[in-house]
Structure 1
Amino acid sequence: MAVESGLSLFGVDNSANVAAAIKAQAASQAAAAATAAALKVEYDSLTEYKKMVTDLLDDLTGSNADHKKLAHGTLPAGKLGHGFPEAEALFKSYDTVITELQKLSKGLADQIEALGIAISTAGKGFGDVDDDTKRRMVAIAETAKEHYVPERDPYLEEQRRLAASQHPGTATPGAGGNATGGNH
């Protein structure tokens, strides 16, 4: 009978289709196994990276660069002298530097903490993260936004230049001879 020789009732060779389906399934399983192995490596790498980030945060928190310690070591006003404009200007500069270092230290600690949270929650999706972690991430983001100074952003000008060079409609001339496609 025709079915026994691998041909269907319609004269199509089913054995080729079955073999192709088996090969496709085997390739899919091999790809899934490779993906799982790659994800395991990524997870291990993220775990090691999170430990490194946590260690950096611990080092910063206990060091002289901690924003809380910076505040304790400041000079009192008048320590550099009274009645001298130069001494007052020097103290004002000193106070500004200490204040900016405190902000930098606090911001760095927050960013390291946020990076650690992001690494530990990677792959979960924001919906599966506990409420305390979500609130902490939102608080860190809001603090960063409050302290963001566009004039200090080294990438902002480059981003603006790139955005300005990519005007919509100018890349490909349209019908009618102009960039937008009309006959204006």
Structure 2
Amino acid sequence: MADPGIHGGDDVDHRQDSGNRRLYNPYQDLQIPYRTLYDLPTSPEFLFQEESLAQRRSWGENLTYYTGIGYLSGSVAGASLGLRRALRSAEPGDTLKIRINRILNSCGQDGRRIGNRVGVIGLMYAGLESGMVAARDTDDWVNSVLAGLGTGALFRAANGPRSAAIAGAIGGLMVGAAVAGKQVLKRYVPI
């Protein structure tokens, strides 16, 4: 917070420096209401009362968040895999331009491919989780686990029922582990 003596107001600054001279304060006589300018509320402000009662993101925010996080993390992981692949495929006679071109092409191709996949998984998960919240009219861990199960099954549904069942089980277990880990962090890690 700003020093009250700097902005004038009710507090008059009579501080002195080491030479026993009074320090000059250009804001002393302006009577600026600094407290109303700098003491801002720390809680979010809502336009409607119903928004303040909800303790979770809306379906649109949820959709944007999971899709964006999925695409970004998938792109970074894909780019790192592409970098590894490009460095392995380097030949001894390549020039620096060819090596840089190979690295950029490989990072871009793998980053885009994996980023799109993980972004679509995030999109499906967000849609299924928001649908489960709307259908069950409750927001608990069951919605998240069922959304993970449904996302895995839906993502691999084109490969057959066995692949969809295995992917659904993996998705449900991954989300269940994430929900359990979040609860452990909330309980034992002071934030």
Question: Do Structure 1 and Structure 2 share a fold, with TM-score over 0.5?
Answer: no
Structure label with greater radius of gyration: 1
Q: TM-score, normalised by structure 2?
A: 0.27
